[in-house]
Amino acid sequence: MAYVAVKGGAAAIEASLERLRYERLKSGVPLGLDEVSGGLSVLIDQVMSEASLYDPAVAAVAVKQAEGSPEEAVFLLRAFRSTVERLHTSRPAVTADLFVERRLSAAFKDITGGQWLGATTDYSHRLLDFSLGDETPASVRVWVNEVEARWQAAGPRTRFPKVVDCLRAEGLLPAVPDDDTPPLDVTKGGLTFPAVRSQRLQTLTRGQTGTVTSLGYASLRGYGVLHPTVGELRVGMLPLVVDPPGEGPFDEDDGYWIGEVRVTEVETLVPVETDVGGRTVLSFDLGYGLCFGKNETKTIAMSLLDQVLESKADLGPLADEEFVLLHVDSVEATGFISHLKLPHYVTFQSKLEGVRQTRKAEEAP
């Protein structure tokens, strides 16, 4: 680490790393990876989304190594991701095929297939549950087995029609033609401006959860005039299919199912004012968000920012895609802030000498 321009730098760094490991292990009870992935599933999902790598087992290693720090875990997982070979590209995933675990609409009380509350803290009391300290592996195993048996008796997983499709069938939302343009991968080609929508969506889903949420909140409170409504929120398992080896074209039935990824998807209905024949007419625009794992707040905020950036609405800095997209990245932001801790001896001494010379000149008779 040549940046540390002091004698004994290597020894000091080794001692620092030893102290880092000691702080993680000093309780004498190391966390098992199963405990991390099972008990911190929301954190695992957040890290996978911001790192653009869906692998709960590897994400658990990153979270354990980072001692629960999301920013450090994302940094570790992205570094690992850069070493992994890309073997296949899946066919476009169709979210209508989502096997739903949770589904709701804030726009309609009665939707085809019904509302599924699923797992959520939305309806819980925000009170600390100190009985969690009494849980044991044996008691947990008995309870889980009972619940799973009851769920299996309820029947197979279900697919549901999408709320926005029902609105389009009524002519309340304009039909959108299929766009088969290959997306631009920001992890391979970087982010360019002006950005196309595929780049914006990738950057937002990789964005730091707190930052995306804050900017989405700002679009409502600081600049928003019209109130958006969640048309549909879904959490579930999304099937992925790849083409067989060899040259195409391939038929629909030729693909290979390779597994599922858990995702959160949100489609937000945003009222917009349009000019029709010289008069203002209220209509609806659509904002879209999708993230790995279960991360509802971020996905809703992402859908709000998607609509703002796509529509070029006059919302100050939130309508500036360079401002938004260049400031949501977790690794970029934490890396640049953290670099201020590193030695800046030469540059600071230069500034300091400039200040001294200026003061001497001012104090001279």
Who's near 343: CB < 8 A, 6+ residues apart? 3, 4, 5, 6
Question: pLDDT of 52-72, one tens digit each?
Answer: 999 999 999 999 999 999 999
Task: Give Cα separations from 224 to 133, 270, 285 (angstroms).
Answer: 44, 11, 14
User: DSSP of 148-180, one letter per residue?
Assistant: HHHHHHT-S------HHHHHHHTTSS-------
Q: How far apart are CA 178 and CA 96, in angstroms?
A: 14
User: DSSP of 21-49, one letter per residue?
Assistant: HHHHHTTS-PPPHHHHHHH-HHHHHHHHH
Backbone angles phi, psi at 230, to 5 degrees: -70, 105
Q: Are 354 and 101 in contact (CB under 8 A)?
A: no
Per-residue pLDDT at 264 exceeds 90: yes
Q: How far apart are CA 175 and CA 167, in angstroms?
A: 10
Mean pLDDT, residues 97-112 taken together: 89
Between 172 and 285, whose confidence is greater? 285
Closest CA to 304 of 206, 230, 236, 235: 230
Mean pLDDT, residues 157-179 taken together: 80
Q: Compute the mean pLDDT over every residue in the chain, rounded to the nearest whole number.
A: 86
Closest CA to 272 of 222, 226, 216: 226
Q: What is the pLDDT of residue 224?
A: 58
Task: Please report, rounded to a whole number, the percentage of residues in the chain having pLDDT higher than 70.
Answer: 95
Q: How far apart are CA 240 and CA 11, in angstroms?
A: 48
40-75 core/surface letters (b: 16 or more CB in 10 A; e: else) = bbebbbbbbbbbbbbbbebbbbbbbebeebbbbbbb
Q: How far apart are CA 57 and CA 48, in angstroms?
A: 10
Q: What is the pLDDT of residue 157?
A: 66
Q: What is the pLDDT of residue 45?
A: 94
Q: What is the pLDDT of residue 293?
A: 93
Q: What is the pLDDT of residue 7?
A: 53
Mean pLDDT, residues 270-293 taken together: 82
Backbone angles phi, psi at 299, to 5 degrees: -70, -40
Mean pLDDT, residues 124-133 taken together: 86
**Of 14-18, 171-175, 201-205, the least confident:** 171-175
Mean pLDDT, residues 194-203 taken together: 92
Who's near 237: CB < 8 A, 6+ residues apart? 98, 99, 101, 157, 260, 261, 262, 263
Q: What is the pLDDT of residue 234?
A: 94
The residue written with tokens 């099972």 in the block is 38
Token pair of 332 as six digits: 């970029």
Who's near 66: CB < 8 A, 6+ residues apart? 72, 73, 75, 76
Q: What is the pLDDT of residue 123?
A: 87
User: DSSP of 268-309, one letter per residue?
Assistant: EEEEEEEEETTEEEEEEEEEEEEEESS-HHHHHHHHHHHHHH
Q: What is the pLDDT of residue 226?
A: 66
Q: What is the pLDDT of residue 2?
A: 40
Question: pLDDT of 207-224, one tens digit each?
Answer: 999 999 999 998 888 665
